[in-house]
Structure 1
């Protein structure tokens, strides 16, 4: 249990594997796979208030190109 002085810890995913990205430099939208059978998405931060949605603590909104998700889906199949 966390006390007020402790921050929740993020899960340890180990090394992420690139599934799809929009460049080769690593500084652009990317979809990664984890060893847990999930994906991690790197994208541009979207402020929930400007999007008209509420996001719970510990989550955030990111924007990525649709074709990146299409490529990731194809590569994960």
Structure 2
């Protein structure tokens, strides 16, 4: 597995997380961030036992690499869960 560091939250203390990586073997992304464990917040999300929910600051989105001309091969449109 070859992980590639894509971006890190520049405002995190000690240059820590949140951090985004790309795995070129699985063609997927890994997001290291803060685990959400607040039951109230999690109650509106169906999370299978083998998954978790992480939170990251909105400012990090602007650092995510963009490839508009070539969308991710497994990307699919989803509904807005807030609607």
Q: Which runs of 4+ in 1 moved over 6 A?
A: none
Unaligned runs of 5+ in 1: 1-13
Aligned equivalent of 1:66, options 51, 58, 64? 58
**TM-score normalized with structure 2 length:** 0.60
1:10-66 Cα deviation digits (max 9, x unpaired): xxxx13111111148563101110112211101101026231223101110101112
The corresponding residue for 1:49 is: 39
Q: Given the alignment of the two structures, is residue 34 of structure 1 paired with residue 23 of structure 2, yes or no? A: yes
TM-score (norm 1): 0.64
Match of 2:81 in 1: none
Structure 2 gaps, min length 5: 68-83
Count of paired positions: 62
Please provide the CA RMSD for this pair. 2.2
